[in-house]
Structure 1
Amino acid sequence: MNMEAPLCLIENPESGKFQVNAEAIAILSKINQPVVVVAIVGMYRTGKSYLMNKLYGAQRGFDLGSTVQAKTKGIWMWCFPHPTLENHTLVLLDTEGLGDVEKGDTKNDMEIFCLAVLLSSAFVYNSKGVIDEDAIEKLRFVGEISELIKVKTKNNDDEEAELSRHFPMFIWVVRDITLKLELNGKEITEDEYLENALKLQESENTRKIQERNACRDCIRMYFSSRKCFVFDFPTGNKDFLQRMDEVSEEQLNPTFIEQTKTFCDYIYEKADVKYIDDIRLVTGKILGDLAHMYTDAISSSNVACMADVIVNISEAQNKAAVRDAIQYYETKMKDCVVFLTETLNQFIELSRQCENEALQIFLKIAFKDNDQVFQKDFMIKIEEKKSEFFKMNDLTSRGYCEELIRKQSEVLENALKEGVYSTPGGYQKFKEDMKLLEDKYNREPKKGTQAEEILQEFRKSKETIGITIMMNDKTLTELQKKEEENKVRKEKDEMKKKIEDLESLNKNEKLTDHIRTIEENTKQLLEKTSAERRMMDDKLTSVILQKKREQQAYVSQGFDDRARMYKAQIEDLQKERGEVKNHGWVPLVATALEGIVCILYPEIFIAGKIISGIAKLFYS
């Protein structure tokens, strides 16, 4: 997806009730790639749109504006292929400027701020001048985030710590800076400049200082991953400043151009893919769902609950996973199988390949499938479709073979009508013609799975006629007729035994196919769950390290109470990490699968042993 121009994603009409733009959602619904979502927020007329245009690589796109009026209303998006990540889409979100004097609605500003946080994987805060008390005061929204965003529906004593796990990386861009980055006479980095500005004030415990520290504390708590960029003035020419979308880079400050490039390169390299629930990659389709749900939640109840949104999205995704996987199986089977496979085993092998690919599609799309409810639905529907294809395959083969043997037996049928075999020696002639017909039928290729059954049915249909011809053949003695009767009876028994053996073989092949299905579903589900647990472990490890850095920072600053709070959070996270690394989840998954198998394949008594055997591999 490569949009030619930005489009409004979330509209902010004068009524103040946000609504999503259906056209933008339709565009996002077509993006099945993972998305990196970069949102920019800041006071109006601070150059946010210029930076977003540069990230796109365009001179113009998002409306820059050239007056004191705020231009961007609501949240606008611009999607294009990620410059450095193959098969990923970069989504830029430019937000309405905060603090618009014409609007004068701080609650509306707060809601825009929260929507940008909820939708992004990289959150850019854009400000001018320096990071001082005034600049941090303008970020007061951070301290009020927990009023609009909840992780879980029920009350959570550690809501702040929970929110920090789900929030995007935080990038503070300071524009038009005039200060030298120095601290106590020593040159410092941009990141050190930010961290120093976020230090809590050590002084009398007055209300003013508590308020000052509270905002800094919230920024550090909610945005544990932080980065800072400073920008020089782009130009000293006021006319150029008002026409930044028309001015060439050669007319701007070279340092500013280089700083802009450094910022863009960092976003391309470091901005992470958007996730929900720590492990689920967000596609454009899911991003559209998130925009819908979060917008509706904030517009209606004023509170966006992440857990509720994840449950709703997972249910929709899991239904789509079943639908897409079954559709794939059905389409692939129609392409691969022309419903005339030579043997049942050949058909089963083709079906198994299609089924395994469909299973991969299901597991790729599905997430939070508690108790494997949707995997059960997938397996049931696959079995239903497979059964339909079995029948279609057999019916097609039967129709073909019946028509084939009808045409090949036309000479025989005419001879019977003309009484050719009702003469002395006619029985021997009848047997020879039947043998020639059967040999010709057997030499015909690609008859399908019902070839033997149709031949045996044809033989049976001519059995009585053959006996009548034999009994009326005067060249045969009574003894010879008796021997021929015994021979026909023996051939009949052999024919019956052959059909029974074939049915038994087919039953065993289908049983083997069921066992393979159980093995493949168990193996792939355990592998997926194991990979997700590893991702969760990596996420928790990263969060713990970030919490430890904050804890040490508070210790060094003498804020022991804050350090103890972080210590408690770290202990909780380490406990959760221990549970994630524990293999206690394996028997739970195995038990759920055994329940599904008992419903689908009650005849397979060893199903539990099969699943348990595979599950044990994940304990080692």
Structure 2
Amino acid sequence: MSGVSAMMDRPMCLIENTKEGKMVVNPEAVKFLTKITQPVVVVSIVGLYRTGKSYLMNKLAGAKKGFNLGYNVQAETKGIWMWCVPHPTKPDHTLVLLDTEGLGDVEKGDKKNDIWIFSLTVLLSSALVYNSKGTIDQDAIDKLKFVGDLAELIKVKSQDNEDEEAEFSMHFPIFIWAVRDFHLKLNIDGKSATEDEYLDNALKLRNPEKSTRDEDYNRPRKRLRMYFGKRKCFVFDQPSANKEDLQNMDNISESELRPEFLEQTKNFCDYVFREAEAKKMIDNVTVTGSQLGKLAEMYTMAIMTSNIACMEDVAHTLSDIENKAAVQEAALYYETQMKERVVLPTDTLIDFYELSQQCENEALKMFLKRSFKDKDKKFFQEYMELIQQKKKEFCDKNDEKSREVCEVLIKKHGEKLEEAIAKGSYSVRGGHQRFKQDLKAIEEKYHMEPGKGVQAETVFQKYLTHWKSIEINLLKTDEALTEKEKEIEEGKAKKKIEEMEQKVREVKESHKNLQREDEKAHVEKHIMGVFEKFAQENRLMAAQLQRAIADKERERDSYQRQGFQKQANMYQEQIKDLQMEEEKKMDKNQWYTPVFDTLKNVVCAVAPSLIEITGKMIHAKAGQVYKEFKKRK
């Protein structure tokens, strides 16, 4: 169940920039993404046109050609192009590369289109590469003006929130600034510096803010630091001193490029492969290729129709689609596996339930893996009810097949007996004794037959009652028996019928108990699955919160060192809010209160016979998983 990947031999357009100035999603690209059920690591690149973005994306794809390098003056890439390849270092992940139309294309002359492109790449990416040339100076910062417009097009929550922009860093991708054709020495105040220190220095604020000019200088820097908590910088030498080589990059060999450039490119790729994680939606939900296609459609539609994309609203809409699909997919898996694994009739009901539980457990994992944001557990209940329904259908088929097999066996072994009765062969002196002997032989042969299934005793009891009634009639006319012997034999025959009926009642009671135990095991397993998923989500959320806290602590300390106490205090308040949120994830009550009533209602609807033990069961499973969570935390 690691998921399915799909590899493209060349890039294809994901989001097209139409002649009418609109953005539309390519249905063929969505159709391709639908095949990918693996988590996706989405790396996109943006920047001014003619800055060599496509070269870096081709290197990430492990190919020399793919994205159009287009070394003409005219910009080549229109819209957002996609290339899906197996991730080179993360097993069971697909690497999705997004190469974007160059920002600031003079032929296009549409600033709205640029911010749409930038916003969509931010919303869809795990890592966002901003590609520029020369140095990170004021001009370079000014050209990154699109960061300041993100708050106008992107919302995290559907409800108005004053601290909306402070939450961006929790959901935005890694920000990687790639500075191409860098020709300076990495020095700050006469001291050698790293690439990251070079970026941090470029993002320092002008202190104090005494004028509108100072505020204009600081504003884009503040936003870049607030929106993108994890930032990285790479500088690249010019690939070659030969102008012809630069115009023919997709055809020349690496030996013709500068070793420094090749080493810098390798370091860049290694970092992206190592640090860019699977794309996450709000609430830390891992995105698959199939879901990425739907996200692209929904985000593009939201921006085109309402000029704003709300992460929470899109996640809710997608969750309904995915949860419905999760129910059907998992139920179909259960049904398919039962047909493949269960040979009807099973020897015992225990055999049937054991096989069913194996298939249920696998189907449950499949459902829980795909479903998300099922707040009221509506889809969870639907799934459980559907599995119970399908299991009952298989159980009924098991009974039916068992009856068919048993009836065939009884007909086979009892055929001569029935013929003899019809001919009157036992209606003679001593015929009763011969009938008893023949009937016992039939019973022994029947019970020795394998593969009769769960209805073996019930079916035989039906025929035994029929034969014993014939036996009673025979013994009444058998002249070889005295009246006293007839009375004794009739009592034995009736007792045999009673014993058989009692045995059938015991079998039915045993089956009823097994059904109840299976139902209880089914519910317990599913409750356990819900809490284990809850624990996993809390672990991921806690880790995300810890990273966010560390990022904001770094910014707070930086502002304090620069003398921006107001900014430092703002970050400190954000840190406190995140710490409180982290504490909630560890609070024991959070493992009971939010889901107790919901799960109780689900269990009572699915298994009303367990209503008396439901509350204790839910508390027990929650406590069990919580203890393990605390250990692993």
TM-score by length of 2: 0.96
Where 1:536 maps in the other structure, the secondary structure is helix
Aligned to 2:608: 602
Which one of the candidate residues 605, 611, 615 is aligned to 2:618? 611
1:576 and 2:581 matched: yes
AA matched with 1:47: G
Deviations 1:155-212 (A, max 9, x none): 1100111111100000000000111110111110000000000001125522122111
Instruction: Output the amino acid matched with 1:610.
Output: M
Q: CA deviation at 1:606?
A: 2.0
Equivalent position SS for 2:13? strand
Q: Distance in 1 between matches of 2:92 and 2:339?
A: 29
SS in 2 for 1:157: coil
How far, CA to CA, are the matches of 2:70 and 2:204 in structure 1? 35
For the 8 Å contact 2:559–2:565, the answer to whether it is kept is yes
User: 2 CA distance for matches of 1:185 and 1:538?
Assistant: 38
Match of 1:305 in 2: 310
Matched, 1:458 2:463: yes
Distance of 1:495 and 1:261 partners within structure 2: 80
Residue matched to 1:503 = 508
Where do residues 29-428 of structure 1 align in structure 2 (5 Å cutoff)? 29-203=34-208, 205-428=210-433
- Between the aligned partners of 1:279 and 1:159, the Cα distance in structure 2 is 17
**Does structure 2 retain, via aligned residues, the 8 Å contact 1:583–1:618?**
no
C-alpha separation in 1, matches of 2:614 and 2:115:
55
In 2, Cα distance between equivalents of 1:287 and 1:597: 33
What is the match of residue 443 of structure 1?
A: 448
Q: d(CA) in 2 for partners of 1:616 and 1:112?
A: 47
Aligned to 1:543: 548
Which amino acid in the other structure matches residue 200 of structure 1?
A: L
Structure 1 residues 423-455: Cα deviation after superposition (integer angstroms, max 9, x where no partner): 111000000000001111111000111111111
Instruction: Check whether the contact 1:39–1:124 (CA below 8 A) recurs between aligned residues.
Output: yes
2:608 is paired with a residue whose SS is: coil
Summarize deviations over 1:109-159 as a string: whole Å, max 9, x none.
Answer: 011000011100000000000000110000011011000001112211001
1:311-358 deviation digits (Å, cap 9, x = unpaired)? 011111111111111111111111111221011121111111111111
Amino acid in structure 1 at the alignment position of 2:605: I
Q: Distance in 1 between matches of 2:222 and 2:334?
A: 53
Equivalenced residues, count: 620
So what's the TM-score if we normalise by structure 1?
Answer: 0.98
Say if 1:518 and 1:607, in contact at 8 Å, map to a contact too: no
Q: Is the CA contact 1:166–1:278 (under 8 Å) kept in the aligned structure 2? A: no
Instruction: Deviation per CA, 1:455-507: give whole Å up to 9, x if none.
Output: 11111122222112111111011110011111112112111111111111111
Query: Does 605-614 or 44-53 show the bigger shift?
Result: 605-614
Q: Which amino acid aligns with 1:607?
A: T
- Corresponding position: 1:592 with 2:598: yes
What residue number does 1:19 align with?
Answer: 24
Matched to 1:565, the amino acid is: M
* Paired letter, 2:451: K
1:519-546 Cα shifts (integer Å, max 9, x gaps): 1112121111012111111110110011
| Paired residue secondary structure (1:85) | coil
Are the aligned partners of 1:330 and 1:385 in contact in 2 as well (CA < 8 Å)?
yes
Q: Deviations over 1:193-236 (max 9, x none)?
A: 00000001125522122111100110000011000000011112
Kindly indicate whether the alpha-carbon contact (under 8 Å) linking 1:11 and 1:19 is maintained by their aligned counterparts in 2: yes
DSSP 3-state at the match of 1:462: helix
- SS of 1:476 mapped into structure 2: coil
SS in 2 for 1:584: helix
For residues 204 and 35 of structure 1, do their structure 2 counterparts lie closer, same or farther at Cα, with a shift above 3 Å needed? closer
8 Å CA contact 1:515, 1:607 repeated in 2 = no
In structure 1, the residue matched to 2:631 is: none
**Preserved CA contact (<8 Å) 1:526 1:589:** no
Quick check: 1:522–1:590 contact (8 Å CA) kept in 2?
Answer: no
Instruction: Point out 4+ residue stretches in structure 1 off by more than 4 angstroms.
Output: none
Please point out which of 518, 523, 532 is paired with 1:527: 532
1:433 corresponds in structure 2 to 438
Question: What amino acid is the match of 2:181?
Answer: D
What is the CA–CA distance in structure 2 between the aligned matches of 1:29 and 1:571, rounded to whole Å? Answer: 41
**Residue 278 of structure 1, CA deviation:** 4.2
Structure 1: which 5+ runs fail to align?
Answer: none
Return the alpha-carbon distance in structure 2 between the equivalents of residues 480 and 597 of structure 1: 59
Structure 2 Cα separation of the partners of residues 310 and 600 of structure 1: 28
Aligned identity (percent) is 53
**1:603, distance to aligned residue in structure 2 (A):** 2.1
Q: 1:9 aligns with which of 14, 24, 29?
A: 14
Q: Which whole-Å CA distance do the structure 2 matches of 1:21 and 1:400 have between them?
A: 56
- The one-letter code matched in structure 1 to 2:447 is N
Equivalent residue number for residue 3 of structure 2: none
Per-residue deviation, 1:570: 0.8
Counterparts of 1:394 and 1:220, CA distance in 2: 67
Q: How much does 1:618 deviate?
A: 4.3
Contact 1:326 1:378 in 2 (8 A): yes
CA apart distance, 1:371? 2.4
AA of the residue aligned to 1:64: L
